[in-house]
């Protein structure tokens, strides 16, 4: 690509010339953007104000070159995939990117190289999200930083990907330009690589999952891109190669041989309402509800029975999802555990990725949602065309506080390599939960005095919580997996 913006003299010369270039090479001098699709990839060159200029040249696959300068305020050159804001990332697939870039930002101002995009869902507490996975930056600035009043940065945690730790942040943006309007108010999510680089592979879905595990909720996908951004700076970048891959669908979380375990939110694909149930007493109705990060009523622990059959236990109240198979159209509620009731057993029929139909074993009717908040969920006959019968399982963390308490049970050996033996169980069924030290449920199983061992050979080395739940008590202790 011609280096039109290497200096101010050449920039202003270009501003007053009739500029003729190849159709895959273009510049932006006024506020606005140029967009298009070439070679199966969408692209956009955006510029915030009329100051300065920016140029972009499209190359093979997702590669491009860009340059910017001349007193520019903010510009983004990005290339990737656009979507229609109807699907979560889990519904689309597993995202990754590979790139090799000659990246040359100036020492003044700020610049970023990485992954960039937006999500949107009007039903979320933060409907609009702008996200960054930062691979490299200008020499004198590491993002993000506090902005205007109310735009403070909050560190949330870390994620490891392809040889480096990334720090995770959120930042509120107030009266700033967005994909929806200008000005607008929205939230930013950031993963910032500690060991900066200009080439490599990014597991984008790993970052999405890490954010969501920290209650940083993503909406429906608008786009995902390789990006170079310049803010009050100048510079140029040239990708010798770049690709963005969407492979199959994101797997749904955990367990051996595809068996699900852990805690999930259940999002109905029709209008994106969440399964909301449980309570301080049994037989409460299960409802369609808008997303709420803090509600245990929207968190369901899956307990494996056999095959693709599970029980779903509400984190609020501890009651189980209970269907009525006597006839179609019956409302769903929550009830106390009963090992013999097939109304509490649900077949999770995988469609793709994290998307399932959920069938009550009693009556073989399907869990059916609604597009209206606070209406009761029911069970109906199968209809392959109804998205109201399709549920996305979004893995999350438990609301339970993990503590080691005085216990009448004991386990041996501890540390353990493979099989744990449990002493102190009664003939009554006990729900045993294996959790990591942060309280995330990894496995659930029903044990009793006649069935008192559990195999943990597949767990990684580390410290875990072993919790036994009976009707009137919860007892837990720690163990070490060698």
User: Which residues have CB under 8 Å from 340's CB, separation 6+?
Assistant: none
pLDDT on residue 473 = 58
Are 123 and 272 in contact, with CB atoms under 8 Å apart? yes
Please, are residues 201 and 161 in contact by the beta-carbon 8 Å criterion?
no
Q: Identify the CA nearest to 74 among candidates 195, 211, 182.
A: 182
Distances (CA, A) of 36 to 10, 40, 47, 289, 407: 27, 10, 15, 38, 64
pLDDT in tens, 456-477: 888 888 888 888 766 555 677 7
User: Which residues of the chain, if any, have pLDDT below 50?
Assistant: 1-23, 249-257, 401-406
Give backbone dihedrals phi and psi of 102, rounded to 5 degrees, phi first: -90, 105
* Sign of CA pseudo-dihedral 398, 403, 408, 412: positive
As a whole number of angstroms, the longest Cα–Cα distance in the chain is: 88
Instruction: Give the up-direction half-sphere exposure of residue 285: CA atoms within 13 A in the CB hemisphere.
Output: 12
Q: How far apart are CA 311 and CA 301, in angstroms?
A: 8
The whole model's pTM is what?
0.58
Residue 136's pLDDT is what?
97
Of 158, 48, 88, the C-alpha closest to 354 is 88
pLDDT at position 98, please?
96
Note the pLDDT of residue 429: 66
Report the residue count for the chain: 482
Per-residue pLDDT reduced to its tens digit, 69-85: 999 999 999 999 999 89
The tokens for 442 are 């990894």
Distances (CA, A) of 126 to 269, 291, 311, 414: 19, 10, 31, 44
Distances (CA, A) of 110 to 20, 105, 198: 30, 8, 16
3-state secondary structure string across 435-481: EECCCCEEEEEEEECCECEEECCCCCCEEEEEEEEECCEEEEEEEEE
Q: Which residues are catalytic?
A: 130, 229
pLDDT tens-digit map of 404-458: 444 578 889 988 999 999 888 776 667 787 877 666 677 777 787 777 888 888 8
């Amino acid at each position: 690509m011609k280096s039109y913006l290497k200096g101010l003299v050449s920039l202003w010369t270009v501003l007053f010339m009739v500029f003729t270039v190849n159709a895959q090479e273009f510049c932006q001098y006024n506020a606005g953007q140029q967009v298009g699709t070439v070679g199966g990839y969408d692209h956009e060159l955006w510029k915030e104000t009329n100051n300065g200029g920016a140029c972009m040249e499209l190359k093979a696959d997702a590669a491009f070159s860009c340059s910017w300068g001349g007193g520019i305020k903010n510009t983004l050159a990005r290339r990737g995939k656009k979507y229609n804001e109807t699907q979560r990332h889990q519904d689309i697939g597993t995202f990754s990117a590979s790139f090799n870039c000659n990246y040359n930002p100036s020492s003044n101002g700020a610049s970023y190289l990485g992954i960039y995009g937006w999500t949107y869902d009007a039903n979320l507490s933060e409907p609009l999200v702008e996200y960054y996975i930062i691979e490299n930056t200008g020499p004198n600035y590491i993002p993000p930083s506090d902005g205007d009043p109310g735009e403070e940065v909050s560190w949330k945690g870390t994620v490891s990907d392809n040889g480096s730790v990334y720090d995770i942040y959120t930042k509120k943006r107030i009266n700033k330009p967005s994909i929806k309007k200008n000005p607008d108010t929205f939230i930013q999510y950031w993963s910032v690589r500690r060991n900066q680089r200009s080439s490599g592979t990014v597991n984008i879905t790993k970052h999405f999952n890490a954010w969501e595990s920290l209650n940083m909720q993503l909406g429906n996908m608008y786009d995902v891109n390789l990006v170079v951004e310049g803010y009050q700076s100048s510079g140029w970048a040239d990708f010798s190669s770049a690709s963005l891959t969407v492979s199959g669908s994101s797997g749904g979380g955990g367990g051996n041989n595809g068996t699900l375990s852990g805690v999930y939110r259940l999002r109905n694909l029709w209008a994106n309402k969440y399964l909301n149930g449980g309570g301080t007493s049994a037989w409460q109705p299960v409802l369609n509800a808008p997303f709420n990060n803090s509600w245990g009523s929207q968190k369901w622990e899956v307990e494996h029975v056999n095959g693709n059959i599970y029980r779903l236990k509400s984190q609020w109240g501890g009651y189980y999802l209970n269907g009525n198979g006597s006839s179609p159209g019956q409302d769903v509620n929550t009830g106390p555990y009963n090992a013999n009731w097939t109304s509490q057993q649900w077949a999770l029929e995988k469609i793709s990725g994290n998307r399932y139909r959920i069938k009550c074993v009693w009556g073989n009717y399907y869990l059916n949602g609604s597009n209206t908040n606070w209406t009761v969920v029911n069970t109906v006959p199968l209809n392959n065309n109804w998205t109201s019968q399709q549920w996305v399982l979004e893995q999350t963390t438990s609301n339970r506080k993990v503590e080691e308490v005085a216990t009448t049970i004991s386990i041996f050996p501890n540390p353990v390599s493979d099989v744990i033996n449990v002493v102190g169980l009664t003939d009554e069924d006990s729900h045993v939960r294996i959790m990591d030290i942060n309280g995330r449920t990894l496995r659930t199983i029903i044990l009793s005095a006649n069935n008192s061992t559990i195999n943990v050979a597949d767990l990684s080395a580390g410290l875990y919580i072993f919790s036994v739940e009976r009707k009137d008590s919860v007892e837990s202790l720690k163990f070490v997996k060698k």
